[in-house]
Structure 1
Amino acid sequence: MLADGYSKVAPGKLVAAVTCLEMLAPAPTASAPDPEGLSLALVREPDLDWYRDLYRRIGTDWLWSSRLSLADAALAEILHDPAVEVRAVMAGGRAEGLMELDFRAEGQCELAFFGLTKAMIGRGAGRWLMNHTIENAWSKPISRFWVHTCSLDSPQALDFYVRSGFVPYERMVEVFDDPRLAGILPADAAPQVPILRG
């Protein structure tokens, strides 16, 4: 456990306050009509380049990088596991959103990744996608559905999860290498988070 007060962080590192949330029974879904022109597609054994492109388009502003740093074999081992489900929000034949459900732990489902590209913001797609996410997760024999979000994510993320029926149960601190300094993300990604080179 961290002691109260300030703790120095090495140059080149980022720090995120992580909130873990869970749902122990299906939450009622809020009314959300199907946004015009959108559909949700199950993507079996997704192509790795396709997945990385979508992941970047959704997550670069929030410094998503964990999947981008994985070698092909390690990423395929996750995405091609039959207990991992990847669904894409499709608009005009292009993927513009991601829902990734991980059922690899017995009786549980982790919402591993959830997000929309900038093109989808403000179209009601977030609530619609979350409704489908809750329904898909609880369609399996689970007793716990969980997710974590952090202080580098969209400022609306935590409140959105709580309004969707998730309950916070734990807080952690994550320290990791700045992906912009490692060349995993461009140097101008997430300008709201300063780069400290040291």
Structure 2
Amino acid sequence: MDKTNAPLSAGYHDVAPEMLATIVTCLEMTARPDPRPNPPADGLSVERWIAPTLDEYRSVYRRVGENWLWVSRAVMEDDRLRAIIEDPAVEIYTMMRDGERLGLLELDFRESGQCELAFFGLDQSLIGSGAGRILMNVAIDKAWEKPISRFWVHTCHLDHPAALAFYQRSGFRPYKRMVEIFEDPRQTGKLRADAAAHFPVLRAK
């Protein structure tokens, strides 16, 4: 997680129009939860993605995350991104159907004894279909195959509105809340201007 500052005082706090503010919730599980059944697969499968190219990775990353304002990997320097996705302690999986990549799962084991659910997302066409449960069951299985004592994730209110409850149903427990303020990527050209229409762009007067 990024460096945090002192807690905000109660009350309203102005945010510059070119910036976004979001509430981040950090969640963790410290033991493997009881398994939850998979829904019908409907032709879906989850496969390990070995050595994706940068273009392939960013294409899937944008596909599943652009509507939720995922931007970090889309604009990350090539060398830095390559070092992450080629690190043997980082495992990448995709949800597949008919040869098409429709979901992204990234597990980061770079910190000893822990696993971060770094990225978890689906194509819009799969949301609400049960595909998320299939992908999460794989995430939990793969994470706890390793000798870890903690599996953790963070989400924010810019994500799908059902994301936080879904993580809790999956066995994660909230333990910290933060406010993150960052540059609106739609106003800088880092994301397309009409991304995340549910969260309006504010223009300086």
TM-score by length of 2: 0.94
Shift of residue 41, structure 1, vs aligned partner: 1.1
1:4 matched to 2:14: no
1:34 Cα offset (Å): 4.8
* Segment of structure 1 superposing worse, 186-195 or 119-128: 119-128
Tell me how far 1:156 sits from its aligned partner: 0.2
How far apart are the structure 2 equivalents of 1:26 and 1:137? 9
Instruction: Tell me the distance in 2 between the aligned counterparts of 1:48 and 1:56.
Output: 12
Structure 1 match to 2:87: 81
TM-superposed deviation, 1:173: 0.6
Q: Which residue of 2 aligns with 1:40?
A: 46
Q: Does 1:66 align with 2:53?
A: no
CA RMSD of aligned residues (A): 1.0
- Give distance in 2, aligned partners of 1:133 and 1:29: 12
* Residue identity in the other structure for 2:136: M
Percent of aligned positions with the same letter in both sequences?
Answer: 57
Q: Name the counterpart of 2:26.
A: 20
3-state SS in 1 of match to 2:81: helix
Q: Could you tell me how far 1:28 is from its partner in structure 2?
A: 1.2
Q: Shift of residue 120 of structure 1?
A: 1.7
1:185 to 170, 188, 191: 191
Q: Which range is displaced more, 34-43 or 89-98?
A: 34-43
How do residues 117-136 of structure 1 correspond to structure 2 at under 5 angstroms? Answer: 117-136=123-142
Amino acid at match of 1:83: A
Match of 2:159 among 143, 153, 161: 153
Instruction: For residue 180 of structure 2, give the secondary structure of its aligned residue in structure 1.
Output: strand
Q: In structure 2, which of residues 49, 57, 61 is the aligned counterpart of residue 51 of structure 1?
A: 57
Is the contact made by 1:35 and 1:123 (CA closer than 8 Å) also made in structure 2?
no
Separation of aligned partners in 2, 1:153 and 1:122: 14
How far apart are residue 38 of structure 1 and its match? 1.2
- Where do 5+ consecutive residues of structure 2 fail to align? 1-6
- State the partner residue of 1:113: 119
CA deviation digits over 1:110-145, x for unaligned, max 9?
A: 000001101222332111111111000000000000
**1:89-104 equivalences in 2 (<5 Å):** 89-104=95-110
Q: Deviations over 1:138-187 (max 9, x none)?
A: 00000000000001000000000000000000000110000101111111
Partner-residue secondary structure (3-state), 1:90: strand
Q: Which deviates more, 154-163 or 8-17?
A: 8-17
**Moved segments of 4+, more than 3 Å:** none
